[in-house]
Amino acid sequence: MRLKEPKPERRRSRNTAARTVWKRIIIVMAALVILGLAGTHLFSLITGNETLAMPEDAVASVLTPLQTGFSSVVDSVVNYLYKLKLRANLELAYNELKQQNEQLVYQAMLADELRYKLSVYEDLYDEISVNESMNPLVATVIGHDSGNYFSVFTINKGKNDGVQDYMAVTMEGALVGYTYNVSATKSSVRTIIDSEASIAALISSTRDQGTVRGTLGVDGTAMCRMYYLPDEHLPRPGDTVVTSGVVMSFPKGIPIGTVRESTRGMESNKSYIVVEPIANFRHIEYVIVLRYQPDAEAVAGQTSSSDSLTFTPLETSKPVPTIQIGSDFYQLAPTPEPTATPTAPPIDGSVLLTSESPLPQGTLSPGTQSYEYQVPSGMATGSEYGFTLAPTATPTPSPPPLDISVEED
């Protein structure tokens, strides 16, 4: 006897079989549809029958809008990503250009600085070249006095470099000051605008001699005043004031400044004229120390062993010359009477025979030989300020070797 299956089990197996059948039917139909579509496409390609192309046209008409929408979405996404990439590239390029610009700006600044230094060095070289006989030495300013009443600064040259007290310090063809408090490796420089400074000077046009003092401590201005001028002449504004070479170991002819105010004749109690310095005291970086020492051997043949004079600068900011009899450096000659107008001896080299210059006070005897400072061209020249350098007819002694030492940064 055959046992009957329980009803639920039979129904489940029947459902499973039916599902399998339906599944197969669907698969077969799908395969047939796809294969049919492919076949019609192939036949349409082979035969060229447009009727056979209808199914693919139908599929394409359904698919086209779908693909259009999808493509537009993809394109927008791609465009957005492209813009992001472009923006990133632009930012990258911007940053690179910005960095290059900063670098170029820095290089330009460096070039400007180097160009400025080069011009300074050129000026220094010119100044040194034309004043080799002054034994010049380039020094770098390493410190400034920050006071309001004194104007001094420190340079990086001292006794080891041959610097001594009361040597002239110039810049751009003009007198800046003189050295003092010289140590082995550094020196202090008192500028001509300092109230403590006192320099023997003369008016280049009239050859009147006097003493230039600073006014910084007097009225706080970076000016100079010139005292002890003869009463016979009244300097004109614009006249150049130069060093007279009297006292200290200063060369003659270093431009100090120009006469700015000359009201001495109008005001009876005014014993000075106002001199505006040529040097720019606000921008002092490099200076030249004129290690001016008269060459004893060069002048030995011209000197009298018993009648020559020697300057011995005093250890004071207001130098007073001391005349020694019997020095080998200078010839002793009769002191001429000061004349109203200076005589201009003929120019011959850079050596000046100061005996031709009028010396009203007789501080420097005639026949004393000194080197006169030559203002380099393009700087505070005498032509610019209306003076001419005092000429001399004596042969030029061989100058000491040029000593140019520039601090490197």
Partner 1 sequence: MVKRGLTFGLLTLLVYLLQATVAKHIALWNVAPNIALAMIAIVTVALGRKYTFFMALTIGYLLEIMLPALDYINLILLPACAMLGALAFSDKSERKLEEERSMGKRGGNLPAHIRTLLCALLSIAIFEIVNLFYIYLNGIVIDGDQLQRATISIVYTTALAGVMQFPVRWWLGTYRLKKAR
Collapse the DSSP code of 170 into the 3-class scheme (helix H, G, I; strand E, B; otherwise coil) and give the result.
strand
With contacts defined by CB under 8 A, name the span among 28-36, 324-332, 350-358, 387-395 that binds partner 1: 28-36
Q: Is 14 exposed, middle or buried (0-12, 13-18, 19+ CB in 10 A)?
A: exposed
Asked if 70 touches partner 1 (CB under 8 A), the answer is: yes
CA separation for the pair 399, 133 (Å, rounded): 4
Asked if 32 touches partner 1 (CB under 8 A), the answer is: no
Report the chain's C-alpha Rg in angstroms: 49
Asked if 38 touches partner 1 (CB under 8 A), the answer is: yes
The residue from 49, 51, 71, 99 that contacts partner 1 (CB under 8 A) is 71
Nearest residue (CB) to partner 1, 3 versus 46: 46
Nearest residue (CB) to partner 1, 60 versus 86: 60
Asked if 66 touches partner 1 (CB under 8 A), the answer is: yes
Compose the 3-22 pattern: x for residues touching partner 1 by CB under 8 A, - for all others: ----------------x---
Nearest residue (CB) to partner 1, 71 versus 99: 71
With contacts defined by CB under 8 A, name the span among 52-60, 171-179, 191-199, 255-263 that binds partner 1: 52-60
CB of 119 to partner 1, least distance (A): 56
Asked if 93 touches partner 1 (CB under 8 A), the answer is: no
Q: Are 197 and 190 in contact (CB under 8 A)?
A: yes
Asked if 86 touches partner 1 (CB under 8 A), the answer is: no
Written as six digits, the tokens of 66 are 């779908």
Q: Are 203 and 191 in contact (CB under 8 A)?
A: no
Q: Is the dihedral of CA 130, 134, 139, 144 positive or negative?
A: negative
The residue from 18, 25, 29, 30 that contacts partner 1 (CB under 8 A) is 30
Asked if 406 touches partner 1 (CB under 8 A), the answer is: no
CA separation for the pair 267, 292 (Å, rounded): 39
CB of 54 to partner 1, least distance (A): 12
CA separation for the pair 24, 330 (Å, rounded): 136
The residue from 17, 27, 90, 320 that contacts partner 1 (CB under 8 A) is 27
Give the position of tokens 């300057």. Answer: 311
Q: Is 384 exposed, middle or buried (0-12, 13-18, 19+ CB in 10 A)?
A: middle
For 93, phi then psi, to 5°, come to -65, -40
Q: Are 338 and 349 in contact (CB under 8 A)?
A: no
Question: For binding to partner 1 (CB under 8 A), which residues are involved?
Answer: 19, 23, 26-27, 30-31, 34-35, 37-38, 41-42, 45, 56, 59-60, 63-64, 66-67, 70-71, 74-75, 78
